[in-house]
Amino acid sequence: MGMTMTQKILARSSGHDNVTPGMLISAKVDMVLGNDITAPVAIKEFEKAGVDRVFDKEKIALVPDHFTPNKDIKSAQQVKLMREFAKKMEISNFFEIGQMGIEHALLPELGLVTAGDLVIGADSHTCTYGALGAFSTGVGSTDMAAAMVTGEVWLKVPEAIKFTLTGKPSEWVSGKDIILHIIGLIGVDGALYKSMEFTGDGLEFLTMDDRFTIANMAIEAGAKNGIFEVDNETMQYIQGHSTKHYEVFKPDEDAHYVDEINIELSKIKPTVAFPSLPENTKTIDEIEDIPIDQVVIGSCTNGRIGDMRIAAKILAGKKVNDNVRCIIIPATQKIWKQCMHEGLFDIFIDAGCAVSTPTCGPCLGGHMGILAEGERAVSTTNRNFVGRMGHVNSEVYLASPAVAAASAITGKISSPESVML
């Protein structure tokens, strides 16, 4: 029986000629990632083991991004622990203030992850790197600690669902709308411990930013990972960023999928996930007047330069509604500089937005935009669980940068067309 993209990567990394769903393997990792919430736990477990060196100081990345710049004493202590560990172990891929970025935007930008890699990270949205044709998945801090010692991880080979994307999306439909549509279709457990594998002629109309967004939210459908077939768009990105060898894996013609789902991109409309699950979706034309208090445009899901440009296109020459706080967070320092040099910050600030240094901040209810009781936010982040961005009686609506920017202007959840007349 043939293998899927994911299965081929897992076979290569585990030294097998062939792997099948359900098989338990020990696989060599190409990158181990941790952030300021999860890495300190892993570091303490590492130290308990009495080990005095990591398996490979070039294959570990430590990125404090959730509560940085440090919001309080506890977060400062967490990052201090990471900093001292990185120095002691001579880990070169430690990125904080001045070099920092949101981890899942930063690693691809720096070329530290690429096609064919097996990447684990102590963060659920590590699945983002599947946009590059890599197998990447989130693990617990204990697994991260073990991988820093051994360079290996235990995995169960997942079954796969094939998503064939066809046609061309309409003007204001982006990767965020596509993945919200899919999650609304299959549910938050619709791909439980499965690989979501994306292919089809519709890929040619998706930017890398779109693909990163879609792969990022594979976990919101319960998936073990999301992965895109490598095409010319991917290769251009890899050749412009990758710092290491890469390998492209194509699915076999006789690869087995537990389900095959066709997605006609031209039929997808701007989509919003209502509280309090990403599967609770409605298209923009199904939404009646819902006033909002805050808009957040950023995160590992939608903080890339393409997202910033879309938001600026809508906000240009307009003003944020008097009843709305609009927070813009570019995902990395490089993206921040691009925004500055392209004049996007002038547009944002003239419109009445606040612009932040790169941070996860409000996405997880950490800082830089916490919601009070009864407040509603439209956010380009990836989760809208109860209390996700603040008070348990606040509400989060997930949307694309285009819908978020339009909503900031009108003060209610709105379509981009409504403000671009």
**pLDDT tens column, 216-245:** 999 999 999 999 999 999 999 999 998 899
Q: Compute the distance between CA of residue 219 and CA of residue 116 in angstroms, rounded to an integer.
A: 20
Instruction: List beta partners, residue 160.
Output: 195
Q: Match 């060196």 to its residue by tokens.
A: 53
pLDDT tens per residue across span 155-197: 999 999 999 999 999 999 999 999 999 999 999 999 999 999 9
Q: Compute the distance between CA of residue 131 and CA of residue 108 in angstroms, rounded to an integer.
A: 10
Report whether 212 contacts 131 (CB < 8 A).
yes
pLDDT bin (cut points 50, 70, 90) of residue 393 is very high
Among residues 409, 402, 413, the alpha carbon closest in space to that of 309 is found at: 402
3-state secondary structure of 117: coil
Among residues 181, 182, 179, 240, the alpha carbon closest in space to that of 210 is found at: 179
Residue 271 CA to its chain's centroid (Å): 18
- 271-419 and 5-264 share a CATH fold: yes
Q: Compute the distance between CA of residue 413 and CA of residue 402 in angstroms, rounded to an integer.
A: 11
Amino acid at residue number 291? P
Q: Compute the distance between CA of residue 4 and CA of residue 255 in angstroms, rounded to an integer.
A: 5
For the beta sheet containing 159-166, the strands, ordered from the edge strand earlier in sequence to the opposite edge, are 225-228, 194-199, 159-166, 259-264
Q: Does domain 271-419 have CATH number 3.30.70.940?
A: no
Mean pLDDT, rounded, for 196-202: 98
CATH of domain 5-264: 3.30.499.10
pLDDT in the model for residue 421: 74
Q: Compute the distance between CA of residue 11 and CA of residue 159 in angstroms, rounded to an integer.
A: 14
Mean pLDDT, rounded, for 394-414: 98
Residue 129 has pLDDT above 80, yes or no: yes
Q: Match 């671009």 to its residue by tokens.
A: 420
pLDDT tens per residue across span 292-335: 999 999 999 999 999 999 999 999 999 999 999 999 999 999 99
Q: How many CB atoms lie within 10 A of CB 79?
A: 23
Q: What is the largest CA-CA distance in the chain?
A: 64
pLDDT in the model for residue 316: 98
pTM beyond cutoff 0.95: yes
Task: Give me 137's structure tokens.
Answer: 């998945």
pLDDT in the model for residue 222: 98
3-state secondary structure of 75: helix
| Residues in contact with 73: Cβ distance below 8 Å, sequence separation at least 6, in sequence order | none
Residue ranges covered by each domain of the chain: 5-264, 271-419
* Cα–Cα distance list, 220 to 187, 205, 409, 410 (Å): 9, 23, 28, 29
Mean pLDDT, rounded, for 116-138: 98
Residue 25 has pLDDT above 80, yes or no: yes
Task: Give me 5's structure tokens.
Answer: 């993209």
Sign of the torsion formed by the C-alpha atoms of 394, 400, 401 and 403: negative
Among residues 127, 119, 122, the alpha carbon closest in space to that of 215 is found at: 127
Amino acid at residue number 236? Q
* Cα–Cα distance list, 229 to 95, 109, 131, 186, 233 (Å): 30, 19, 8, 21, 10
Q: Evaluate the omega torsion of the peptide bond into residue 414 and state whether it is cis, within 30 degrees of 0.
A: no
The number of residues in the chain equals: 421
pLDDT bin (cut points 50, 70, 90) of residue 278 is very high
Q: Compute the distance between CA of residue 69 and CA of residue 64 in angstroms, rounded to an integer.
A: 9
Report whether 6 contacts 45 (CB < 8 A).
no
